[in-house]
Amino acid sequence: MTTHWARFNDGGTVRFGTLEGDRIRVCEGDMFAGATPTDRLLALDSVELLTPVQPTKVIALWNNFHALAEKLKLQDPAEPLYLIKSPNSFLAPGGVIRKPACDGKVVFEGELGIVIGRTCKEVSERQALEYVFGYTCANDVTVADILNRDASFAQWVRAKGFDTFCPFGPVVATGLDPAKLVVRTILNGDVRQDYPISDMRFPVQQLVSLISQDMTLHPGDIILCGTSVGVGSMKPGSTVEVEIAGIGKLANRFE
């Protein structure tokens, strides 16, 4: 059974709970360790949704989809290639993605996010899914022109680390089979990306296992699985939505 978990602002108090149609059942305790549902139900439109979790870090994959690698003529990597999105970039569903002061083409990258639920260090591939809490939608926003502007140093962190450049949400969904998921990115009503997670070079359990050999993953940390074909630029005034059936739709304006 799929459960949708949300964090929200309830009159100045941050709470979390589970979606039941157009209402949220308030829970108490720890989302990742024995959350207890209460009898309190709130109308979804009466609260402000926050990022569904508070990561210590968001790890973002590069070159993890065969279709995009084929288009860009990239070799399959021998191991996951990734960077870290800085916490200042985290943005709630409905929040505004702000254009940086610098010039350059700002692009959207609709992605699946893996949400870690238990402290995860050096786990095997066989055990890795036991450490996954659920999945969310994400947009790995990037100033593409910055990436290789300096021939001596690829500026991945700067290009992807501006304030508001990592929207994710609106919920974390548990009980899903990620291999069956499809990511759709919609810009101003037009579908720009529509690709299956099953095309990933490194599947979920392999990503979690291999990255946990490098660094400890904590509850709430997110691994963005990388993106596929259809990435494009946004102009101020645009609305960009990342939709994954079974999770929901993450919508943000770019201003």
Contacts (Cβ under 8 Å, ≥6 apart) of 153: none
Measured distance CA(188)–CA(237) in Å, rounded = 9
Say which CATH superfamily domain 51-254 falls into.
Fumarylacetoacetase-like, C-terminal domain (3.90.850.10)
Residue 34: pLDDT band with limits 50, 70, 90: confident
Extents of the domains making up the chain: 1-50, 51-254
The β-bridge partners of 182 are 196
The answer to whether the CB of 54 falls within 8 A of the CB of 91 is: no
User: In this structure, what DSSP letter does residue 159 have?
Assistant: H
Closest to 214 (Cα-Cα) out of 59, 28, 52: 59
What's the farthest any 2 CA atoms get from each other in the chain?
A: 59
| 195-210 per-position pLDDT tens digit | 999 999 999 999 999 9
Strands of 123-237 (E only): list them.
132-139, 142-143, 166-174, 182-187, 190-196, 222-224, 232-233
Q: Say which CATH topology domain 1-50 has.
A: SH3 type barrels. (2.30.30)
By DSSP bridging, strand 90-91 and strand 166-174 are: parallel
| 59-101 per-position pLDDT tens digit | 999 999 999 999 999 999 999 999 999 999 999 999 999 999 9
- Give me the helices (H) in 74-183, please: 156-160
User: In this structure, what DSSP letter does residue 140 have?
Assistant: -
pLDDT at residue 33 in the model: 93
Q: Is the pLDDT of residue 103 over 90?
A: no
For the chain, give the percent of residues with pLDDT over 90: 97
Per CATH, 1-50 and 51-254 having the same topology is answered no
